[in-house]
Amino acid sequence: MIIAVIILSLALIICAALLLMLKKDIRQLNQTLRIIEKTDTNMRATTGTFDKNIIELCDVINDILDKQKDVIIASQKSNREFRQAITNISHDLRTPLTSAIGYIQMIKSGKTPDDKKQEYLDIIEHRLKSLSNLMNDLFEYTQIVEGKVTQNIEKINICNLLRDIMSDYYEDFVRKNFDVQIDIPDLPVYIICDANYFKRAAQNLIQNVLVHGIEYFKLIVIDNSVIFQNKVSDPGAIEIDRLFDRFYTSDFSRSGNATGLGLAIVKELVQIMGGEINVYIENDLLSIKFNV
C-alpha cells in the first residue's frame, strides 16, 4: 500500500512538473508572439518541452511567420516598384511634353528665323508622337493585364508572317547600318494562335532591337520557336531576370524613346497565347526566344 502511494505521489509530482513546464512554455510562446506582433524581428517560436503537440504548434506558428514575412517583403517590393513606375511615367510624360512646349514658345516668340520654324515643328511633331506612343503602350498594357482582350485563334504560317514583318522594318535596319541575317525555313511552319498577338509580339521585339541593339541582328525560326538575336554594347548592364518587368529601369531598357513597356507587353501576349519566352546572353549577344 505504501509503495502504491509513493508511486502515485511521484506520478502526481511528475504530472505537476510537466504541467508547470507546459504553462511556462505557453506563457513564453505568448510573449514571443506579442514581441513579434509589435516589432520588426526575426524571433522564432520555440519550446523547451518534448510535448509533441507544443512542438507541432511551434512549427505551425513558424510556418505562418515565414509566409507572413514573405508577403511583407513582396508587398514592400511591389510598393517600391509602383513608386518607381509612377516616377518613370511622370518622367516619360513630362520630358517630350516640356520639350514640345519649349519649341512652341520659341516659335511664338517671333524671334525664330523662318528657316528654323519647320525644323522646330518637326521636333515638336516627333516629341508628341513619342508621347502618343507612350500613351498607347500604357493603354494596351492595361487592357492586356486586365484581361480585356479577346483572341482570334487561327492556323498561321509564321514564316510568311515574319518575312512580312521584317520587310516593314528593312529601311530602319539599313539606316542604322545593321548586319541583318534571316534564318527562316522555306517550308511553312504552322502554329495555332492569334495572328495579331503574334505579330505584335514580334514587332515589339524587333523595335527593341532597333532601339537597344547595335550592328548585328539575326532572326531564327526553329520548329515552332522564334529567336531574336542581337548584339548589345554593355551586356553586364542587362538584368535578365527583370528584362520583361514593366517599367524596367536600367539604362538598357530606358534610353531614347523607350517606355519600358514593350517587352512587358511581349511577355503578356506570349503567355495569353499559352507560350513561353526565355532570354539569355552569351558574350555580347542577347537572344530572346519564344514559342506558342
Q: DSSP letter string over 4-64?
A: HHHHHHHHHHHHHHHHHHHHHHHHHHHHHHHHHHHS--------SS--HHHHHHHHHHHHH
CATH class of 153-291: alpha beta
Q: What average pLDDT does this structure show over 138-156?
A: 77
For position 253, what pLDDT does the model report? 42
Q: How far apart are alpha carbons 81 and 34 in whole angstroms?
A: 31
Beta strand 276-282 with 285-291 is antiparallel
Question: What is the average pLDDT score of the chain?
Answer: 79
**Which value, in Å, is the radius of gyration of the alpha carbons in the chain?**
31
For position 169, what pLDDT does the model report? 86
**pLDDT higher for 153 or 148?**
153
Least confident of 129-143, 222-236, 270-284: 129-143
Domain ranges across the chain: 2-36+45-73, 88-145, 153-291
Do residues 192 and 154 lie in contact, with contact meaning Cβ atoms separated by under 8 Å? yes
Burial annotation 192-212 (CB, 10 A radius, 16+ → b, else e): ebbbebbbbbbbbbbbbbbbb
For position 265, what pLDDT does the model report? 83
Q: How far apart are alpha carbons 232 and 46 in whole angstroms?
A: 53
The pLDDT tens digits for 40-57 are 777 777 777 677 777 788
Confidence of residue 162 (pLDDT cuts 50, 70, 90): very high
Residue spans of alpha helices (H) in 146-253: 158-168, 170-175, 195-212
The pLDDT tens digits for 60-88 are 888 888 888 888 888 888 777 777 667 76
Rounded percentage of the chain residues whose pLDDT exceeds 70: 85
Do residues 183 and 219 lie in contact, with contact meaning Cβ atoms separated by under 8 Å? yes
Do residues 190 and 197 lie in contact, with contact meaning Cβ atoms separated by under 8 Å? no
Q: How far apart are alpha carbons 133 and 214 in whole angstroms?
A: 23
Rounded percentage of the chain residues whose pLDDT exceeds 90: 5
Q: What average pLDDT does this structure show over 20-25?
A: 72
pTM over 0.75: no
Q: How far apart are alpha carbons 153 and 273 in whole angstroms?
A: 9
- Of 2-6, 158-162, 193-197, which one has max mean pLDDT? 158-162
Q: Read off the C-alpha cell for 161.
A: 508572317
Residues contacting 245, CB < 8 A, separation 6+: 81, 264
**pLDDT of 173 strictly over 80:** yes
88-145: which CATH topology? Helix Hairpins (1.10.287)
**pLDDT of 13 strictly over 80:** no
For position 247, what pLDDT does the model report? 60
